[in-house]
A and B are shown apart, each in its own frame.
Chain A
Amino acid sequence: MEATFLLTLLITFLASFIGYELISKIPQTLHTPLMSGSNAISGITLIAAILIYPEAGESQLLKIIVLIAIAFATLNIVGGFSVTGRILEMFKKND
């Protein structure tokens, strides 16, 4: 248990580090699509909602709260990627 927790922490650290290195190289011109794109990625919390939904079913209130989380996260993912695609398309045609 302790070992897996530490391993998870290591992965967290590595992911943050890689993220930091790669994102630092992204030019200012792309900062808005970077934000809308990372918006979409933060919707990944949908996974947590999917995982806990079956257990939450016993309580009506908790079920509704998870459904709200699902709605928020899905909006985030779909809307985020869609608008990012729209922005990046504008940069692409300049090429």
Chain B
Amino acid sequence: MIEIILFVSSVLFIFALKLFGRPSTAHRANTFAMLAMALAVFSAFNFDFSKYDSAFYITIVVSGLLGVLISKRVQMTQMPELVGLFNGFGGGASGAIAYVELSNNSLVMSDFFVAIFSMVIGVFTFSGSIIAVLKLRGKLNNVNTTIANIFSAFLPPLILLPAIWEEIEILSLEYFMLLSLVAGIIRVAVIGGADMPVVIAFLNSLSGIAAMSAGFIVNSIILIVAGALVGASGIILTLLMCAAMNRTLLDVLKGGFGGTAINNEYEKDPISTSPEDVAIQLSYAESVVIVPGYGMAVAQAQSAVKELTNTLKDKNIEVKFAIHPVAGRMPGHMNVLLAEVDIDYEDMFTLEDINSEFSTTDVVIVLGANDVVNPLARTDKDSPIYGMPILDVDLAKQVIVLKRSMSPGYAGIANPLFINDNAKMLFADAKEGLENIIKSFELV
């Protein structure tokens, strides 16, 4: 009976992934996955609920309620932090389980190594995720990479230490746990904020891998299957994010990229514009493309974006959104923020789908994005972002860059787009700037 339940559960998980492939069916995917999860969890009890004491049931109920509460309250702009936190919880849970199994049972050789692996990955995911969340909340600045390099150099001897020093051997489980904890903290601490999409996706993958290996320890096929699915999903997103920055995963994890201004010199002053002029410019356009970036999320400008979109559409102006894969702080971050304010997902375009259209676009509005529209990625071989696929907004007829100042983006370099002949700067906070443009429309 249990086997049948587990079989159904595995199949449901796989169907859930299939349904996830289209926005219109994706909400059903969630229902499928929930059902699969419920069946899997139910089966673990093996119809014997009396083996469990009240502490067990209270923990489940309280943390379940807490989960509901958090998920109802979280704002869409905080999704990266939430996902980061949950990655940490998942990893932490698997790590804790592996630790208990290692100290409680005499495991056979293969299980022993899988359990060590699960513990190390789980604990690393836990501490790394907590640091990632602190970074996303702006509570932690970049840490100098020297510390991380010293730690990495000493890691092999530190791992071998228990083998030669007998006093530690008794404590070697705790010792390895501590090492993984510190490794997670140091590794993520050196990685900059705009690389967080990669980090979050990578930790997501690790939390799945930790769960999968926990499945090996307790001999649970469903745990292995579900863990493998999560691991695969995280790896795909990680690689997509890396490709979108033309960097390798290793290079991102090495840290130390960006965050400091390398070169922010401009040959000439940019042309600055006013909300009134932008409104006039827009009202003569037939097609407008909006390029949202992290600045939109920071300024909470989604509603203003929606309002401007409505204003333009009322005037029969075509409005599209061009979303770079690494815009924001997690994969798909911008899409969710736009969906939240009812912008049709049919109007959101990926880099590949929209890049050929910029040359025929009348006006592009760059909203709090910088490096992802920097033409140096195409032209300057010495630039740190050279080769990164960018949105070719500089090819549009006119470009309006809504930005608070000329300060460089994450890569720390000047963006020649800002002084391009077809570009004008509207210096303002994303939300304020948009609201002023909308107000000016009433006067046009």
Q: How many pairs, one residue from A and one from B, have CB atoms within 8 Å of each other in the complex? A: 341
Please pick, from A34, A68, A81, the residue contacting B34 in the complex, using a CB distance under 8 A: A81
Q: Once bound together, how far apart are the Cα atoms of A88 and B66, in whole Å?
A: 21
Q: B433 in the interface, Cβ–Cβ < 8 Å?
A: no
A52-92 contacts to B (CB < 8 Å)? 52-57, 59, 62-63, 65-92
User: Does A94 lie within 8 Å of B220, measured CB to CB?
Assistant: no
Please pick, from B104, B223, B228, B333, the residue contacting A59 in the complex, using a CB distance under 8 A: B104
Q: Once bound together, how far apart are the Cα atoms of A25 and B30, in whole Å?
A: 17
Q: Once bound together, how far apart are the Cα atoms of A57 and B359, in whole Å?
A: 68
B71 cross-chain contacts in A, Cβ below 8 A: 78-80, 82-83, 86
In the complex, which range does the number of interface residues on chain A fall in?
35 or more
Please pick, from A41, A51, A92, the residue contacting B27 in the complex, using a CB distance under 8 A: A92
Q: B404 in the interface, Cβ–Cβ < 8 Å?
A: no
User: Does B89 lie within 8 Å of A26, measured CB to CB?
Assistant: no
User: Does B33 lie within 8 Å of A28, measured CB to CB?
Assistant: no
In the complex, which range does the number of interface residues on chain B fall in?
35 or more
User: Does A19 lie within 8 Å of B17, measured CB to CB?
Assistant: yes
Q: B400 in the interface, Cβ–Cβ < 8 Å?
A: no
Please pick, from A29, A47, A56, A65, the residue contacting B332 in the complex, using a CB distance under 8 A: A29
A24 cross-chain contacts in B, Cβ below 8 A: 236
User: Does B96 lie within 8 Å of A20, measured CB to CB?
Assistant: no
Q: Once bound together, how far apart are the Cα atoms of A76 and B86, in whole Å?
A: 6
Q: How far is the CB of A39 from chain B (nearest CB, A)?
A: 4
User: Does A42 lie within 8 Å of B26, measured CB to CB?
Assistant: no
Q: B229 in the interface, Cβ–Cβ < 8 Å?
A: yes
**A45-B93, A78-B64 as given contacts; A38 in contact with B204, CB under 8 Å:** yes
- Nearest B residue to A31, CB-CB: B332
User: Does B236 lie within 8 Å of A23, measured CB to CB?
Assistant: yes
Which residues does A use to contact B, with CB under 8 Å? 5, 8, 11-12, 15-20, 22-57, 59, 62-63, 65-95
Top 6 nearest A-B pairs by Cβ distance? A31-B332, A79-B67, A78-B67, A19-B232, A31-B331, A32-B332
A-B contact pairs, 28 of them (CB 8 A): A15-B225, A19-B17, A22-B21, A27-B23, A32-B83, A32-B333, A34-B237, A35-B233, A38-B234, A39-B230, A40-B37, A43-B89, A43-B90, A45-B97, A46-B93, A47-B220, A66-B100, A69-B92, A70-B63, A71-B59, A72-B93, A73-B93, A74-B67, A75-B63, A75-B64, A85-B30, A90-B336, A95-B24
Which residues does B use to contact A, with CB under 8 Å? 13-14, 17-18, 20-24, 26-27, 29-30, 33-34, 37, 40-41, 43-45, 51-53, 55-56, 59-60, 62-64, 66-68, 70-72, 74, 76, 79, 82-83, 86-87, 89-94, 96-97, 99-101, 103-105, 110, 200-201, 204, 207-208, 210-212, 214-218, 220-237, 323, 325, 330-333, 335-336, 339-340, 342, 344-346, 348, 350
